[in-house]
Structure 1
Amino acid sequence: MASKDTFRGTAAGLFLAGALLASIYYLQPETLAFESDLEENQEDGRGISSLEEQGYIILTEDEQSNEQARKEELISENKTLELQIAELKQSIDDHEELDTSESSSESEESEDTYYSILSVEQGMTSKDISNRLVTLNIIESARPFEQELSDKGLENRIQIGEYTLNNKMSIEEIITMITS
């Protein structure tokens, strides 16, 4: 009979061999799978077309070197573009700093101009229109607009339509526009 040490040695050897084979299988499954697929396809006579059907991309050495060169070219172009973007951002920042001091009054005026379309519909009263003008930020208060319409007797002469107005227009200009 064999001794316990012989059985233990054999068991340990089989365990290590199994562990080694398992680690090779799990660490390199794609390589082994590719090689087995390649062998099967060569035996079937289908070869490259079968691999392409399975999703593999087959390149010749020239195509591979061309793709590698194209990749390097794109990386270089990308770096160049990133540098240009950084330069443009810096240029914009510099330009904005110069323009800030020179055009602060101009930008404040242009930022405060609101353009809106006033839609006058049938049945709207002068009060409805003045409230709408306040909502659109064309006038600050409805009261002076209503008073001006009343003073000129134009409350009933408001025309139906759409009017493009801005908050820089005077009350007289707005009244002239919507009553003509």
Structure 2
Amino acid sequence: MNSLTIRGFAIGILTATSILAVVYVIQENNAASLKISAADLRAYAKDHEYILIKEKEYKDSLKPDFEKQENIPKTNEVSISITAGMSSLDIANTLVNNHVINSTDEFEDLVAQKNASTKFQVGTYTLTSNMSLEQIVNTLTK
């Protein structure tokens, strides 16, 4: 390659870069001046069968169903009666049926671990669904 070829190549690259820079600046100015009104957006969405929703509605739609239930109380307060002769399984079933605990197995495991199956006291207790298993067992064995 001689110096004229290299010089021509360099001028070509410089010219192409200059043209691209000018085109970029012109397009940026045109894009900045392009404004879409809310009415235009709604009309476009309607014509193309899109549905427009607000960002909060969209984020709420992504949440699992159990997080959407804002009107349902977070705690379930119930009164449980323990009578003479009830086994820990009977008590666990009563707690599950009243939605205080989710599983009889976990309750039974904790009762066995604490050796509390014979320590349940006869009486009526107020329990809530946000109590831990430990709290429930402690309340029922006092």
TM-score, normalized by length of structure 1?
Answer: 0.40
Name the larger-Rg structure.
1
* Greater percentage in helix: 1
